[in-house]
């Protein structure tokens, strides 16, 4: 997976990008967890999400938010990180001309940023949010949520506990036309230790149901 550097509002953004040989391949952007807790694009869950999209025929990119790794700038409490994600979205679209499905995926803090970007960019067709931190941040901005998507959580997650994620899912599912594919992985903690294959299987199943199966019949 080649390393690339693209330009964002705070300067250089370090990224890894896989370009599918399929000229009509869908696109995926993967967002890592909170930098203040050591989150980087090489986080195991972020890498697993990225690899899952690649294995399912997507052109995919994961990147370091500002101030992480070789990305320039400093942590900006989510506002600047949202700008970083928007810059990466612009870049992947610039090298993949023409209409094609675009997906956003994020883990923990990355799930928050991904869902904020979802509200600002109508071209995003689907999302995968892993352990959205609904106990730490207000997700009421998803009113209404523009597209259906997937939320995954570990049963034993104490950082993003089930109670708060359940409430978020219930609120989203109550919105007209929105259906959240909600998966809770048994005996699984926030790091998905010993459950990475389960995580990837859930995402692959969702992609097959929502996009890949339909595309194969086109």
- Mark 57-73 as b/e (b = at least 16 C-beta within 10 Å): bbbbbbbbbbbbeebbb
| pLDDT value for 218 | 43
- Residue 206 tokens read as 């969702």
pLDDT tens digits, 135-148: 999 999 999 999 99
Quote the pLDDT of residue 215: 52
- List pLDDT tens digits, range 189-204: 999 999 999 999 999 9
Domain that residue 134 falls in: 3-216
pLDDT of res. 2: 80
Higher pLDDT: 13 or 211? It is 13
Instruction: List, for residues 114-128, the tens digit of each pLDDT value.
Output: 999 999 999 999 999
Residue spans of beta strands (DSSP E) within the chain: 3-8, 11-18, 27-31, 59-63, 102-107, 124-130, 149-154, 180-185
pLDDT at 217: 44
Q: How far apart are CA 58 and CA 76, in angstroms?
A: 30
Count structural domains, the chain. Answer: 1
Rounded Cα gap, residues 149 and 160, in angstroms: 18
pLDDT value, residue 1? 61
Q: CA 132, CA 163: separation in Å to the nearest integer?
A: 12
pLDDT tens profile 154-164: 999 999 999 99
Q: Is 79 helix (H, G, I), strand (E, B) or coil?
A: helix
In DSSP terms, 104 is beta-bridged to 29, 127
**Number of C-beta neighbours around residue 147 at 10 A:** 16
Average pLDDT over residues 127-133: 98
Range with the poorest average pLDDT among 106-110, 115-119, 121-125, 211-215: 211-215
- Whole-structure pTM value: 0.96
Which position has the higher pLDDT, 137 or 216? 137
- What would the pLDDT profile of 41-98 be if each residue is shown by its tens digit? 999 999 999 999 999 999 999 999 999 999 999 999 999 999 999 999 999 999 999 9
pLDDT above 80 (res 211): no
Side-chain-side CA neighbours of 123 within 13 Å: the count stands at 14
- What percent of the chain shows pLDDT beyond 90? 93
Tokens of 174: 């109550």
Q: CATH code at 80?
A: 3.40.50.1820
CA–CA gap between residue 159 and residue 71 (Å, rounded): 26
pLDDT at residue 38 greater than cutoff 60? yes
């Amino acid at each position: 997976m080649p390393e690339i550097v693209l330009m964002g509002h705070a300067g250089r953004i370090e990224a890894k990008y896989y370009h599918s040989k399929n000229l009509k391949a869908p696109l995926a952007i993967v967002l890592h967890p909170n930098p203040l807790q050591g989150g980087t694009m090489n986080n195991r869950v972020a890498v697993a999400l990225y690899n899952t999209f690649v294995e399912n025929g997507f052109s995919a990119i994961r990147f370091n938010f500002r101030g992480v790794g070789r990305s320039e700038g400093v942590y900006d409490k989510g506002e600047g990180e949202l700008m970083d994600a928007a810059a990466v979205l612009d870049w992947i679209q610039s090298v993949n001309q023409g209409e094609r499905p675009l997906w956003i995926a994020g883990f923990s803090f990355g799930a928050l940023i991904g869902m904020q970007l979802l509200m600002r960019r109508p071209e995003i067709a689907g999302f995968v949010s892993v352990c959205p931190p609904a106990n730490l941040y207000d997700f009421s901005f998803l009113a209404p949520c523009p597209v259906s998507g997937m939320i995954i959580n570990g049963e034993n997650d104490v950082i993003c506990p089930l109670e708060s994620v359940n409430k978020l899912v219930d609120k989203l599912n109550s919105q007209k036309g929105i259906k959240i594919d909600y998966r809770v992985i048994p005996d699984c903690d926030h790091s998905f230790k010993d459950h990475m294959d389960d995580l990837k299987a859930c995402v692959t199943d969702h992609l097959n149901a929502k996009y890949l199966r339909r595309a194969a019949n086109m």
